Structure 1
């Protein structure tokens, strides 16, 4: 009976930790991310990342770099490998980079090593607007994580097999784009559901989005908790 009670308490504690983890405001570990979100009043109002000035995972200088050169200065990845982006596409690409670098509410979906995100539920309207803004622009990669490789000398990322195709040809629609371009980082979700916006005005609506820790998309979190539980049970058994 005593051992059963201990296990029940352990499960309750782990469940409580899962809720706390889902609610925490955290930033991923990256070269251009702060250790924790905080206000950035020096982010200018006319820049791409201005929507995050009240609370941000990126510093003002990171915001400035994105506004000036997109990912080029931050990650040495060039968007114009197949030609210049249209103004509207460039605007949305910068908005997406700001979302990745600055939004303080997406840490709930960070991977176990805290280096990036997994299964972010992106609102269908954001994915569709992104696709519509860039559908006629040509790019050289399908999956921008696996299809780019870093040059060991220059540090610049380039397409492994450079074949230029339009966004429309590569992804067909907003769902195809969101769920492919960054591997498994994004998931296309109906606006009526619990989802995140990439492009918005005013207060950050993502503050109201909480990770669903009870469904099929919480595998990594359950995996982590299960490992902790097994370690705990092993310790208890060793005491007998």
Structure 2
């Protein structure tokens, strides 16, 4: 029995080590992502935070700063011109999504024509979410979920018929509503603070290093401590089972 437990523990460690390594430094399988992260010395504007190790190309980073880029044909100004103080958060959100190699623990598979993976419930730092809401609360929008339901009869998104433009603070009464609902739960609002090592930062000083590396490692380790599924036990050879 002792030998059995030792072998099972060793196998568990091998599985979790391999799983951890696969999610700590990766690019999701999506429309504009690179296959593997690597240096990009000429990343544009707000995306430059990831230039040392990025999942995006320089061209993608340039398009992320345009009001109507070829990336997704999405129009930020569907209810009037978006103020710069608000737009910078959406640009940073795009840069994080396109460039970060540290979102592996929250990558989920999807059945879509333009991507095979997405992020789901990424724990966003309290300050990042609340400042996003603060700077955008008076901008206008006509929809709560910006992922779907638009009028795409032209080359860019427009408000669906009958939708009324109103201030974002009425569409999203709380910061959590904005961060969680606008992209179909891509983010999760948390009470964790920047620098805590428990939440993903949209903003950071690259000179001080990328704090999201440690955050991804923390959550990957948490997933690794979960009990092994019964399906894993079925994969054990009869030789191991004979030790019972």
TM-score (norm 1): 0.80
How far residue 78 of structure 1 moved from its aligned partner, in angstroms, is: 0.9
Q: Identify the residue that residue 89 of structure 1 maps to in structure 2.
A: 86
* Mapped partners of 2:183, 2:231: distance in 1: 30
Whether 1:195 aligns to 2:199 is: yes
Extract unaligned runs of 5+ from structure 1: none
* Mapped partners of 2:78, 2:238: distance in 1: 57
Whether 1:119 aligns to 2:121 is: yes
How far residue 92 of structure 1 moved from its aligned partner, in angstroms, is: 1.5
The answer to whether the Cα contact below 8 Å between 2:40 and 2:51 also exists between their aligned partners in 1 is yes
* 1:228/1:36 CA distance change after superposition, 3 Å: farther
Count of aligned residue pairs for this structure pair: 228
Extract unaligned runs of 5+ from structure 2: 111-115
How far residue 68 of structure 1 moved from its aligned partner, in angstroms, is: 2.9
Output the aligned Cα RMSD: 3.1
1:103 to 100, 104, 109: 100
* Mapped partners of 1:146, 1:213: distance in 2: 30
How far residue 177 of structure 1 moved from its aligned partner, in angstroms, is: 1.1
* Mapped partners of 2:79, 2:238: distance in 1: 60
Q: Identify the residue that residue 211 of structure 2 maps to in structure 1.
A: 205
Q: Identify the residue that residue 42 of structure 1 maps to in structure 2.
A: 42
* Mapped partners of 2:48, 2:167: distance in 1: 29
* Mapped partners of 2:145, 2:53: distance in 1: 30
The answer to whether the Cα contact below 8 Å between 1:40 and 1:59 also exists between their aligned partners in 2 is yes
How far residue 147 of structure 1 moved from its aligned partner, in angstroms, is: 3.4
The answer to whether the Cα contact below 8 Å between 2:141 and 2:168 also exists between their aligned partners in 1 is yes
TM-score (norm 2): 0.78
* 1:211/1:119 CA distance change after superposition, 3 Å: farther
